[in-house]
């Protein structure tokens, strides 16, 4: 949850799937309402050394029993037995906005929590990446209500969900170079065993883990779909125990650690190295960003088209938090790896096409929120971006500025003129006259109609112009 989101009280619409736990937002606070059973599970967790260990390690969101309670909604069958309060996550993100390495790290965290919870006499009732958020480049488990008391003899209930939302997306990207982001955005339940099996070749089925977790899983699922057999009861009767779960967890961990996305390059992965900027222009551009960030003193910054994150790092020196977005998943994956090594907690890297940003998804389109609904920025950096949005994405210049205006954000925006080598290259791919609105005069007119332009600066090349603009009151 962002600061902006938690200003509006109400039940969090994405928390309805657990009958024992609902999230309630009230006056800057994130509260979790528990049923009688949810309270019993919480007491088991909070009294265990595991809880304090996970919070201290930064792997579980800070949580405590709430005091000074507001009026609570009647949303749990049987009533609310207790209320917890969580630390606020700086910015909510979703798995279809993550990179390969981010999803893999979230999967390893999920497996670690399952293994350690079993040692504490508990289990996680589900295994969805939507229970994980990133604080900068660090994954944090946020669904305390997912912990429940271990039931002897029962299988790991979250195994199928883990495969569909963690394992199969990672396998397909590592083995087939099929991006999982589009698939997960298309179905928040993930990739089914049969769908994954259909995408794998006979040779793929010889890879480690493919037969057991994909082919056999799909076969067993088809079998139980056509019978009245209670699979859970059958496993319990056959003597299913903790050691079998732990053995499966360890095999999955070894498998996931070995999965790698080996794509060598992409359209923008070498952009910082091949850019047409002179050293002087690059230096002046960085100085311009630094000056604006220090002047604006923003809480939340969006770096749109962040590439390798140079300007996001500049913004993070002053801002409370930075969300760094780029369409190129490989570029963002490399940025995430660098930020993780740095221990960076103020920059969240995400992959997204700004010409087709994340919409509202799930039940009633409310379970997963559109990007701006999760917290509009105080300052947006739009550097080396508008020509890609306008020319490649076919978004009119005025439309893009309308979108920025709707978020009431200040801007650092760069306009590369048609004479810029990159712009010329993009225009050569289009028919003559396709983009009559892409010119400096029209851009400045549209910008001035929507924002108060504080200042502008032409870089020494004469082909790129920087603007600092503020939303009109």
pLDDT digits (tens, 9 = 90+) for 220-274: 888 777 766 655 565 555 556 789 999 999 999 999 999 999 876 655 555 554 4
pLDDT at 230: 59
pLDDT at 61: 98
Q: d(Cα 205, Cα 203) in Å, to the nearest integer?
A: 5
Q: d(Cα 369, Cα 62) in Å, to the nearest integer?
A: 23
Quick one: 220 and 109 in the same domain? yes
Please check whether residue 43 is in contact with residue 63, taking contact to mean a CB–CB distance below 8 angstroms: no
Quick one: 86 and 127 in the same domain? no
Domain region containing 302: 271-471
pLDDT at 269: 54
Quick one: 130 and 27 in the same domain? no
Quick one: 64 and 123 in the same domain? no
Domain finish residue from 56, 91, 126: 91
C-alpha dist (Å) from residue 417 to 26, 282, 414: 47, 16, 10
pLDDT at 238: 53
Helix then strand count (H, E) for the chain reads: 19, 16
Q: d(Cα 19, Cα 184) in Å, to the nearest integer?
A: 24
From the CB of residue 53, how many other CB atoms can be counted at a distance below 10 Å? 13
Hey, is 271 helix, strand or coil?
A: helix
Hey, is 428 helix, strand or coil?
A: helix
Please check whether residue 411 is in contact with residue 469, taking contact to mean a CB–CB distance below 8 angstroms: yes
Report the length, in residues, of the chain. 473
Hey, is 177 helix, strand or coil?
A: coil
Q: What is the CATH number of the domain that holds 321?
A: 3.40.50.150
Q: d(Cα 395, Cα 311) in Å, to the nearest integer?
A: 24
Strands 10-11 and 21-26: what pairing? antiparallel
pLDDT at 236: 58
pLDDT at 233: 62
Using CA atoms of 342, 348, 349, 354 in order, give the dihedral in degrees to the nearest 10: -160
Quick one: 57 and 99 in the same domain? no
Going by C-alpha positions, the residue among 140, 152, 350, 149 that lies closest to residue 244 is 152
Tokens of residue 205, six digits? 């089925």
Hey, is 11 helix, strand or coil?
A: strand
Number of domains in the chain: 3
Quick one: 204 and 323 in the same domain? no
Please check whether residue 329 is in contact with residue 351, taking contact to mean a CB–CB distance below 8 angstroms: yes
> Helices 242-258 and 100-119: crossing angle, nearest 10°?
160
Run of H or E residues at 206: none
Please check whether residue 390 is in contact with residue 402, taking contact to mean a CB–CB distance below 8 angstroms: no
Quick one: 319 and 441 in the same domain? yes
| Segments of the chain with pLDDT less than 70 | 1-9, 227-240, 264-276
Please check whether residue 190 is in contact with residue 169, taking contact to mean a CB–CB distance below 8 angstroms: yes
pLDDT at 356: 94
Strands 132-135 and 122-124: what pairing? unpaired
Q: d(Cα 33, Cα 285) in Å, to the nearest integer?
A: 48
pTM summary value: 0.93
Quick one: 252 and 136 in the same domain? yes
Quick one: 323 and 352 in the same domain? yes
Please check whether residue 229 is in contact with residue 238, taking contact to mean a CB–CB distance below 8 angstroms: no
Domain finish residue from 91, 111, 142: 91
Quick one: 54 and 117 in the same domain? no
Residue showing tokens 């600092």: 468
C-alpha dist (Å) from residue 144 to 60, 119, 272: 8, 17, 41
Quick one: 327 and 213 in the same domain? no
Domain finish residue from 233, 262, 291: 262
C-alpha dist (Å) from residue 35 to 83, 143, 359: 9, 15, 32
Indicate the DSSP class of residue 166: I
Quick one: 380 and 393 in the same domain? yes
| Backbone φ, ψ for residue 161 (5° rounding) | -65, -40
């Amino acid at each position: 949850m962002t600061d902006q989101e938690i200003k509006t009280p109400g039940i969090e619409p994405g928390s309805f799937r657990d009958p024992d736990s609902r999230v309630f937002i009230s006056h800057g606070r994130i509260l979790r309402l528990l049923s009688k059973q949810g309270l019993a599970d919480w007491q088991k967790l909070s009294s265990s050394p595991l809880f304090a260990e996970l919070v201290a390690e930064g792997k579980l969101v800070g949580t405590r029993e709430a005091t000074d309670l507001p009026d609570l909604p009647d949303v749990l069958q049987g009533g609310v037995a207790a209320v917890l309060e969580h630390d606020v996550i700086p910015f909510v993100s979703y798995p279809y906005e993550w990179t390969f390495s981010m999803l893999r790290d979230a999967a390893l965290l999920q497996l670690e929590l399952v293994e350690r919870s079993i040692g504490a006499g508990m289990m996680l009732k589900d295994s969805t990446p939507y229970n994980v958020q990133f604080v900068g480049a660090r994954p944090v488990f946020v669904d305390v209500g997912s912990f429940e008391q271990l039931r002897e003899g029962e299988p790991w209930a979250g195994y199928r969900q883990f495969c569909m939302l963690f394992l199969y997306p990672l396998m397909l990207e590592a083995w087939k170079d099929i991006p999982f982001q589009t698939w997960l955005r298309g179905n928040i339940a993930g990739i089914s065993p049969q769908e994954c099996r259909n995408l794998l070749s006979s040779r793929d089925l010889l890879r480690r883990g493919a037969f057991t977790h994909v082919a056999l899983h799909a076969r067993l699922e088809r079998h139980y779909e056509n019978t009245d057999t209670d699979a859970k009861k059958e496993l319990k009767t056959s003597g299913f125990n903790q050691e079998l779960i732990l053995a499966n967890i360890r095999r999955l961990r070894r498998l996931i650690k070995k999965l790698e996305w080996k794509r060598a390059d992409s359209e923008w992965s070498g952009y910082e190295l091949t850019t047409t900027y002179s050293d002087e222009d690059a230096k002046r551009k960085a100085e311009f960003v630094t000056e604006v960030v220090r002047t604006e003193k923003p809480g939340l910054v969006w770096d749109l088209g962040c590439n390798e994150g140079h300007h996001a790092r500049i913004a993070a020196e002053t801002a409370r938090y930075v969300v760094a977005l780029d369409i190129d998943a490989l570029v963002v994956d490399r940025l995430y790896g660098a930020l993780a090594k740095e221990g960076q907690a103020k920059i969240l890297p995400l992959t997204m096409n700004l010409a087709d940003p994340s919409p509202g998804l799930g039940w009633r389109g409310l379970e997963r929120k559109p990007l701006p609904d999760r917290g509009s920025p105080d300052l947006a950096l739009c550097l080396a971006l508008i020509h890609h949005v306008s020319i490649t994405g076919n978004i009119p210049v005025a439309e893009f500025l309308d979108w920025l205006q709707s978020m009431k954000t200040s801007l650092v925006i760069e306009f590369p003129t048609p004479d810029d080598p990159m712009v010329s290259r993009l225009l050569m791919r289009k028919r003559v006259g396709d983009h009559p609105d892409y010119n400096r005069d029209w851009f400045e007119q549209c910008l001035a109609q929507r924002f108060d332009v504080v200042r502008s600066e032409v870089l020494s090349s004469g082909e790129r112009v920087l603007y600092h603009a503020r939303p009109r009151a």
